[in-house]
Amino acid sequence: MAAMKWWGWGPEGLEFTHEDKPALRPFIQWALGVDVASASVSPIPFKDLRVPESRLTDDLRSALEAAVEGGFVSTDRLDRVVHARGKSLHDLVRQRRGELNRVPDVVVRPGSEDEVEAVMRSGIDADAVVIPFGGGSSISGSLEAPAGEQRPVISVDLGRLNRVLGIDATSRLARVQAGVFGPHLEEQLSAQGYTFGHFPDSFTHSTLGGWIATRSSGMQSDRYGDIADLTKGLRVVTPSGMLVVRPVPATSNGPSIRQIVLGSEGRLGIITEAIVEVRRIPERRTILGYLFPTFADGLAAMRDIAAGEFSASVTRLSDAPETQFSFATRRLPSLVDKLESAALRTYVGRRLGYDTGQMCLSFIGYEGSERHVARERKAVGKLVKRHGGLCIGSGPGTLYDQKKFDIPYIRDFLLDRGVPGDVSETAAPWSRLAPVYDAVRSAASDAFGRLGVQGYLMCHLSHSYHAGACLYFTFAFRPTPDGDILEEYDVVKVAIQQAFVDNGATLSHHHAVGTEHAQWLEEDISQPGVVMLEALFEGADPGRHLNPGKIV
């Protein structure tokens, strides 16, 4: 898998465009007061970057070259810059400006677990910092070395550990190397009739090990579970040796070591393998689109689906602002599309009494046998109807399925036009979802007002559980002419995150802590919780060699 561009999302040459979406340019003009017809800001050319000299010593280089055979020890300038950060908005803006900060001194690509162990030993013996690297898709500041770090920094790229090593068909468990990217994992599993079913937004450019290290959730987690549910066994290279978590279905042997590794962001060791649940590829997979009169009606429907005897694979609900944005991103419609769209708006407005400015778009997915899918669709359809909803067929669902991994590219598109756009997501009990939603909208509006900027906030419910759900907010604003884009971004981001914890929600549902969210950790898990984590990290890594400064 080719590395992502050093200044943005995805590989070089692949970009988001508005030209095949005729409604998008006028929509952004209305929402943000920005004409996106052409780019106005460009990243600094790579040749002009001032990349700090590598601090790799001759002794450490020799040790790493002995540890990893085949010339997979790199001090190339581009390689080091690519591995210096993830893809948070802070990361992207600073990269584009040429503000590189603490770049890794060397990128090492081990090809086996033994080589990972040898790299770990070499790094610790040299009092170096060791940072695991999967796809580099983190948006929480989980990859950058501390600014003042004086020790050598080693980025350990797991990309060569990319194979499915075996499948236990009886137990439906697969043994998989941690560096495999999402598409390659599914490709290997599907060749044997299986699927992992884990599809985060970052799927194309993220790895199994990265998902585990950040407690990822996927678009079909309603059915398959998130990465914490799917991961049953682990092998982790740690400073004190190889940590092995066996794939038993349940155990009562003290605090769960498996759960401790999940979400540890490289602070406890380097994940080399996982044993994960897999399922047979379903006979039928369908995603249908639905409309609801209001967001409150849609939330009530999602809550009842989660509480009922359903097994939907996707339950996604956009609020009215996101629904309007979704309609604006439609590609060039055919005459039939235009006629159907006009007829639908007339029907829901005049016949059903919807306020089309408040209606909300939803996607619900079904998987299984033909009979199971038909039964689920019928039962969910009745429930949706009780909440005033309307099924609008498979067309919108197919479109959602096709463009579901495109969203991260929009940030680059906006930054090219001088506009910051980002996301914040959380989870809360069903009884708190509406208050959290209202509080975040109010907090963002206040932040836009304090800055004196035109901004836009939208939201969707993306994962449902028996007791609650995830709310995923996206925001963008037109910065002031003379202000610093990151300082103004922080005003909005902080307001949203603070509204989460002030209203009983978590600091992040699936984007991890890193450095971006660390300031809210104590409010989320309490001061004794932070003390426990500090003691855990100190006990496992007393030399602070493993990705220091993350989480706490």
- Give the Å distances, CA to CA, from 427 to 24, 202, 239, 469: 30, 19, 34, 6
Strand 279-280 and strand 390-393: pairing? Answer: unpaired
3-state secondary structure of 522: helix
CA-to-CA distance for 381 and 400, rounded, in angstroms? Answer: 19
Phi, psi angle pair for 107, to nearest 5°: -115, 125
**Nearest residue to 141 via CA among 87, 96, 190, 103:** 87
Q: How far apart are CA 138 and CA 135, in angstroms?
A: 8
Q: Is 472 a catalytic residue?
A: yes
Which three-class secondary structure state does DSSP give residue 275?
Answer: strand
Rounded Cα distance, 194 and 16, in Å = 32
Q: Is the separation of the CB atoms in 20 and 332 below 8 Å?
A: yes
Please, what is the end-to-end C-alpha distance for the chain in angstroms?
32
3-state secondary structure 237-248: EECCEEEEECCC
Question: Which phi and psi (to 5°) does residue 297 adopt?
Answer: -65, -45
- The neighbouring-strand residues paired with 321 are none
Name the phi and psi angles at 13, rounded to 5.
90, -10
User: By CB neighbour count within 10 A (0-12 exposed, 13-18 middle, 19+ buried), where does 510 fall?
Assistant: buried
Task: Report the alpha-carbon distance of residue 122 to residue 210 in Å, rounded.
Answer: 23
Q: Which of 343, 344, 346 is nearest to 290 (CA)?
A: 344
Q: Which of 194, 224, 354, 472 is catalytic?
A: 472
- The whole-angstrom separation of Cα 5 and Cα 25 is 25
Distances in Å between the Cα of 76 and the Cα atoms of 37, 54, 94 are: 36, 9, 20
At a CB cut-off of 8 Å and minimum separation 6, what does 237 contact?
A: 113, 116, 117, 120, 243, 269, 270, 272
- In three-state secondary structure terms, 469 is strand
Q: Known catalytic residues?
A: 472
